[in-house]
Amino acid sequence: MRLAQGWAGGARRSGGHVGDLARVDLVDDPGVQQLLTERQAPTLIDAGQAAAMLGVPESWVRQEARRGRLPHIKFGRYVRFEPEALVAWWKARERGPRLAARGRGA
């Protein structure tokens, strides 16, 4: 699989905005091109956005990710979070009477 190189060493894009995977010409493999066209990329958020979503300080989000207790994705020194994974994470941690009431059909 070979990456197509555009100006300044970046990946060449054929229109659209940066997040538009249907318009990305990154590889010369038709199978990968079809896969990119058919699927939409998951939205990733940074630690500040994850903190706002969870209602906690950004420092807590960074610390929990660093300790491996919060689902995250690392790109070198950058840490990103998938909102759907965070929702699943906090639902799995839910405790208390509200959870028990839900099991009784209330």
Contact 79, 67 (CB under 8 A): no
48, HSE (Cβ side, Cα atoms, 13 Å):
0
User: Which residues are paired to 5 by β-bridges?
Assistant: 11
C-alpha 90 chain-centroid distance: 16
Name which residue leads in pLDDT, 98 or 5.
98
Q: Model-level pTM greater than 0.85? A: no
Q: How far apart are CA 83 and CA 96, in angstroms?
A: 24
Query: Which pLDDT score is estimated for 9?
Result: 37
Q: Which helix (H) or strand (E) holds 90?
A: helix 83-92
Query: Which pLDDT score is estimated for 80?
Result: 96
